[in-house]
Amino acid sequence: MSMEHQTVEKATFGAGCFWGVEADFRQVPGVVATTVGYAGGTTENPTYRDVCSHTTGHAEVVQVEYDPSRVSYDALLKVFWENHDPTQLNRQGPDIGDQYRSVIFFHTLEQEAAAIASKEALERSGAYKKPIVTQILPAPAFYRAEDYHQQYLEKRGLSQCHI
């Protein structure tokens, strides 16, 4: 009996409150798992309270594990761009602070190239009147958020944050 080997790759995105971002990615066919957490700051093993204090430098992010034979990284980028406003610096809607910044943390050079190309294409498209402030950076250490944040909206029967 042979087990079919499934290749899983990681993608990490920050696009505001991680509850809603995670819910968006969980609906994508080919996404195997999602984990919300913190990345991009200086504090090791931060708590949610630490991150909300604006002293850690961390962003709220979603680490997406996906099967590249079922969903492309470009398709994940499309979900990222379509589900937040990448022109808002350190905020999304009512959520204000550096932990809500728009950021793509790439895990490979291919992801970096794809992220840069997608950002440039979006800038050229004229979809936004203001500049896109999304950062594209190498994936740093990822710290898993507390259990109660994982699949937060799903557990509460909600599909999005801001109703």
In a domain? residue 3: no
Active site residue 17: yes
Distances (CA, A) of 32 to 3, 25, 27, 96: 17, 10, 10, 30
Q: Which is the catalytic residue, given 17, 62, 71, 103?
A: 17
Total number of domains constituting the chain: 1
Domain extent, residue 16, equals 9-155
What contacts 161, CB < 8 A, 6 or more positions away? 16, 17, 19, 20, 153
- What CATH number corresponds to the domain at position 53? 3.30.1060.10
Is 54:90 a contact under the CB 8 Å cutoff? no
For every one of its 163 residues, what pLDDT tens digit does the chain have, with 9 covering 90 and above? 545 667 999 999 999 999 999 999 999 999 999 999 999 999 999 999 999 999 999 999 999 999 999 999 999 999 999 999 999 999 998 889 999 999 999 999 999 999 999 999 999 999 999 999 999 999 999 999 999 999 888 888 876 665 4
In a domain? residue 122: yes
Distances (CA, A) of 70 to 30, 33, 67, 163: 5, 13, 5, 31
